[in-house]
Amino acid sequence: MQLVGYVLALVIGLALGLMGGGGSILTVPIFVYILDFGPKISIAMSLAVVGVVSLAGSVSHWREGNVNVKLSLVFGVVAMAGTWGGAFLSRFVSGTFQLILFAVVMLVAAWFMFNDATPDEPDEDRESTVRLETLPVIAGEGIAVGVLTGLVGVGGGFLIVPAMVLISKVPMKTAVGSSLLVIAMKSAAGFYEYTHQVEVDYAFIAGFSVLAVVGIVIGTRLVRYIAQHKLKRGFAIFLVVMGIFMLARETGLIALMVGA
């Protein structure tokens, strides 16, 4: 089974490279349902893996000119605080609750992405600066996404990218690249807190991360060739499918259907 998990690490990297998020949405289910780790250790390892591959992906995007460093730092610093807080709160809830919340977050995010009426504008028509009037909104979004990251292990790219596009008015590709740097920053904060709660297999994480990095390099190269509206729609469909599966699994619905 570990071999299968390593192969799927490539898919995680591709998701991060193409969409600026989605890696943790794949990582947690792989650790829980395929590799048979517990929910909390899975969330901890997910933060580590996604943090490493996101950092690698942000470097590749930065070389392509797709990272707004100022926006990433503003968003990232407050998100780190939120993520640490969310990870600390995870001490007081069950692993099943965390996975159910994880699934709900995916379905809500998919709904927002399906109903996003924002027109796709050419990159050159988009602003790429951080405006002072948007800083409070960015900070609030960063803290909220950070808490979710720490509590359920989701990287939050599916929330960060739309926020950057809609609030900061940056191009979609810039939002994707910038979100990777933010994810790396807050994942580090959350993982640090989880190391005080669970024992982590660093050797396994290292091997898994290396393969995921290979995938993210490939995904980063491919993002320029794929229409952005197709990325958003495709990602939303994936969120619905995975969210429904996890919700059914963790609430016992699947077991009831099989038993019937």
In this predicted model, what pLDDT tens digit does every residue of 153-198 receive, in sequence order?
Answer: 877 776 787 778 777 778 878 888 888 899 899 999 999 999 999 9
Question: Looking at residues 27-55, what average pLDDT do you find?
Answer: 88
User: Please, what is the average pLDDT of the chain?
Assistant: 81
pLDDT value for 258: 54
Q: Which of 117-131, 169-183, 204-218, 228-242 is least confident?
A: 117-131
Q: How many domains does the chain have?
A: 1
Q: 52-76 pLDDT, tens per residue?
A: 888 887 887 888 888 888 888 888 9
pLDDT value for 168: 75
Q: Which of 18-27, 139-148, 179-188, 229-238 is least confident?
A: 18-27
DSSP-derived 3-state class of residue 202: helix
* pTM beyond cutoff 0.85: no
Contact predicate 212/13, CB 8 Å = yes
DSSP secondary structure of 155-182: --HHHHHHHHHHHS---HHHHHHHHHHH
Contact predicate 102/167, CB 8 Å = no
The Cα 242–Cα 26 span in angstroms is: 9
Query: What are the start-end ranges of the H helices in the chain?
Result: 2-19, 23-29, 39-63, 69-89, 95-114, 135-152, 157-167, 172-194, 202-222, 228-250, 253-259
Q: 12-30 pLDDT, tens per residue?
A: 777 766 765 566 677 888 8
Question: Does residue 136 register a pLDDT over 70?
Answer: yes
Contacts of 147 (CB under 8 A, 6+ apart): 82, 83, 85, 86, 89
Question: Does residue 137 register a pLDDT over 50?
Answer: yes
Phi, psi dihedral angles at 252 (to 5 degrees): 90, 5
For residue 213, what are the domain limits?
Answer: 2-259
